[in-house]
Amino acid sequence: MGAKYAKGLKCRECGRNYEKKPVHVCEFCFGPLEVDYDYDAIKKVVSREKIQSRGKNMWRYAEFLPLDGDPVVGLNTGMTPLVRARRLGEELGLKELWIKNDAVNYPTLSFKDRVVSVALSKAKEFGFKTVACATTGNLGNSVASQAVRAGLECYIFMPANLEQGKIIGTSIFGVHVVGISGNYDGVNRLCSEIAGKFGWAFANINLRPFYAEGSKTFGHEICEQLGWKAPKHVIVPMAGGSLICKIDKAIKEFLKTGLIECSDTKIYGAQATGCSPITTAVKNGWELFKPVKPDTIARSIAIGNPADGFYAIKTMRESGGWGEDVTDAELVEGIKLLARTEGIFTETAGGVTVAVTKKLVEQGRIAKDESVVISITGNGLKTTEAVLTAVPRPDVIEAKLSDFEVLVEKIRERDKKAEAVAAG
């Protein structure tokens, strides 16, 4: 599976080239570095048939990933379901709606398993013994899980006030977990200093160029699963703004290498209003975002100073898409809407994405008969706090048939009333 089509790193601003090494900013202009591929060479070796003949995981796109050898972690990650969402589509008035469901990604139930699979495989290639990350929750879950499997020492740095499910979902792996008071942006700043001083592999700092490439497979899979076609519209939650840029890159590189024939995908970014530096910039027509102090229950995407915010804004604008945000109350409704129509339980970020999609349709930005993909990036079982008071408590009875007969009457009456209310 090893592929050597990544030539090196390239500065996104000044274009200077760097060797493949654990660096992420340009020494000359401080621009971010990105992996640079030889697409002519890739075009000669890839084909739809070849990719389809490979294992059902993200490494079926190995030519587009920056490893020199075979991956050593995350071998089962990716190739999550793309499900046709007829009932949600009906509610939203969309004829061809799809859910790309990374809530069931392997091994830790979020899209972060993709980026970590690449980052830790690369950390092994570079010879690191200790891996780490700054996390809003899901990244920590995945780095911890995959570090344990790879036999790497592991430190996870997170805001101390994350959801229970996210904290336990990291601590359970027996790695070193450090809670930091304050929000993610402080955690990230501290981690940059630690990376410099300790020389560890931080998945989303010094390995960021490699890490970010893993996100592309989310976009690759959407195209393949649509029958080697790019969707007309894709809605993506944004934290640091990396995933949204990489979905765009994935579609463009499939086009460049002949795996899809055309693309006019409009890309939309979703944030919570309580932390919406990127969508605020898009809505105001700014090229640059203003950092904010996060205040939202959508903690996994609560990054006030997004590393790729500038490029995320550009991606939305150039694709003809848009950015929108929703309140915490709206995101909870989004979680419930997806659950009751499609049977998918997503976390707060997914609630944001569903609620933003609803808003975009209401604004008339998405045509009702074109293909739409909603990106579901995380699992609801990790953020149950968000919906604790928004779901009904179970009816409790004795283990007696007569008790149930009484209850069932009550339930039927309740349903009738609810129907009457819904009918107006």
Ligand X SMILES: *Cc1c(COP(=O)(O)O)cnc(C)c1O
Residues making contact with Zn ion (CB under 5 A)? 11, 13-14, 16, 26, 28-29, 31
Residue 267 Cβ, how far from ligand X at the closest point, in Å?
12
- Rounded-to-integer distance, Cα 349 and Cα 217, Å: 19
Which does residue 14 touch among Zn ion, ligand X, none (CB within 5 to 8 A, set by kind)? Zn ion
Among 279, 300, 305, 371, which residue interacts with ligand X (rule: CB under 6 A)? 300
Q: Minimum CB separation from Zn ion for residue 210, in Å? A: 18
Q: Which does 26 bind (CB under 5 to 8 A by kind): Zn ion, ligand X, none?
A: Zn ion
Task: Quote the crossing angle between the two packed helices 112-126 and 138-150, to the nearest 10°.
Answer: 40
CB atoms closer than 10 angstroms to residue 336? 16
Question: Token pair for residue 63?
Answer: 């030519």
- Residue 89 or 214: the one with the smaller Cβ distance to ligand X is 214
Q: Quick count: other Cβ atoms within 10 Å of Cβ 4?
A: 13
Interface pick for ligand X out of 123, 301, 302, 335 (rule CB under 6 A): 301
* Interacting positions 158-197 with ligand X (CB under 6 A): none
Give, as ranges, the residues between 230 and 249 that touch ligand X (CB under 6 A). 237-243
Which partner, Zn ion, ligand X, none, binds residue 301 by CB below 5 to 8 Å per kind?
ligand X
* Residue number with CB closer to ligand X (20 or 246): 246
C-alpha 16/C-alpha 32 separation (Å) is: 11
> Which of ligand X, Zn ion, none does residue 241 bind (CB under 5 to 8 Å by kind)?
ligand X
Q: Which does 300 bind (CB under 5 to 8 A by kind): Zn ion, ligand X, none?
A: ligand X
Shortest spacing between CB 103 and Zn ion, in angstroms:
37
Q: Which is nearer to ligand X, 116 or 372 (CB)?
A: 116
209 binds ligand X (CB under 6 A): no
The residue among 215, 235, 214, 380 whose CA lies nearest residue 297 is 380
- Span between the terminal Cα atoms of the chain, in Å: 59
Choose which of 10, 60, 112, 114 interacts with ligand X (CB under 6 A).
Answer: 112
Q: For residue 371, which phi and psi values (nearest 5 degrees)?
A: -70, 135
Q: Which does 11 bind (CB under 5 to 8 A by kind): Zn ion, ligand X, none?
A: Zn ion
Q: Which is nearer to ligand X, 3 or 115 (CB)?
A: 115
- Nearer to ligand X by C-beta: 42 or 310? 310
378 part of the interface to ligand X, by CB under 6 A:
yes
The one among 145, 377, 383, 387 contacting ligand X by CB under 6 A: 377
- 125-144: which residues touch ligand X (CB under 6 A)? 138
Binding site for ligand X (CB under 6 A): 110, 112, 138, 237-243, 300-301, 347, 349, 377-378
